[in-house]
Amino acid sequence: MEKFYCTCVDTISSIKKEDWNVFFNDCPEGYWFYETLEQSRLAEFSFHYLLAYRQERLTAILPFFTADFYGDTVLEPGMRKLISAVRVVAPRFLIFKTLFCGSPFGEQGLLGIAAGESGRKLLLEAITSELASFARQQGLSLVIFKDFSSSDAQILAPLCSQGFFKTDSFPSAIIDLPYKTFDDYLASLGSGAKKDLRRKLKKARDTGALTTRVVERVDDMIDDIYRLYLNTYNAGTTKFEKLTKDFFLKAAEKAGQGCRYFLYYINGKLAAFNLCFVHGDLLIDKFIGFDYEIARQYSLYFISWCENVQWCLDNGIAHYQVGQTDYEPKTRLGCRLVPLYAYVRHTNTLLNPGLQVLAKFLNI
């Protein structure tokens, strides 16, 4: 059997779009999405792509990126305060320079393997060897296959014999919408959630102050969009990325008709938005932003949820994916959680056992 060989490139333009589509045709984040990431000047990330070949035939594509992983971001507030105190004397404590296989914003990890490819165990060994070499050259501490689903378990199982251990990631939250009307959706909820949503909707609409729009571009209001995004980013306790204005502009430009901005105005002032992407019968809610003083008064988190569900029903969208974290309100509003997993290895094998213990307290 011919051996596999791998190489890494640092721009998606080094990959033909038709090759990418062969490997990832059904993935919501397409070629355009990775172009957007590269062109958005995201200072915390460096994007790369591993290409695996057998002879001259491309057999696998693995997008990956490098970034600092702050272990304390997924700890309880009390522990985060303790970690902050430790960093006064040890600034890099629980901060790992990391190679992540996947995307910082993807719905799940991507590993594209040519259809009918045999010798997948050998292929995965070649891939991990190349990643280990890249990590050593860049001085990275961890290699993480990030947010892979149970459907990838068979392909990734050989990682566990290569020094990786498997741990839980934050699950995805998806609401299925086999309903004809919004009232049908409400009827599927528990009595408390149903009553609460009806009350919030009536209160917001009875004032006459609320108006909504759905648009594909926000070039003329990007400063307002970015201000609301930063409000939400700074308020969050679990942070991984900080987007730029360029991202919000280029995502709309690259996605074209697949992009939707849901805009919420109170007395003519933009008070909230959702940036969503349409992929077939799926609506993916990627990023949100709020003017919190107004949003709390008008329950705009729940209003936006209801408006987006209604838009899905009106447009034949069967599934609404609402991202990771903040699961309590999402499950109460009808979401199911889809487990995701990470496969982790420290580049220093002596530290792997300790890292495995630490991973029990972290969602990587």
pLDDT tens-digit readout, 134-187: 999 999 999 999 999 999 998 999 999 898 999 888 899 999 999 999 999 999
Q: What is the pLDDT of residue 76?
A: 62
pLDDT over threshold 60, residue 267: yes
**Residues near 124 by Cβ (< 8 Å), separated by ≥ 6?**
155, 156, 158, 159, 162
Q: Which of 84-93, 125-134, 178-187, 308-317 is least confident?
A: 84-93
Tens-digit pLDDT profile for residues 314-364: 999 999 999 888 899 999 999 999 999 999 998 887 777 777 776 666 555
- pLDDT score of 3: 87
d(CA 194, CA 182): 11
Could you give all domains of the chain from N- to C-terminal order, each with its CATH number?
4-170+340-359 (3.40.630.30), 173-338 (3.40.630.30)
pLDDT reported for residue 19: 95
Stronger pLDDT, 65 or 90, i.e. the higher one: 65
Mean pLDDT of the chain: 90
pLDDT of res. 170:
87
Query: What's the pLDDT band for 238 if we cut at 50, 70, 90?
Result: low
The angle formed by the CA atoms of residues 354, 356 and 362, to the nearest 5 degrees, is 110
* pLDDT confidence band for 77 (50 / 70 / 90): low
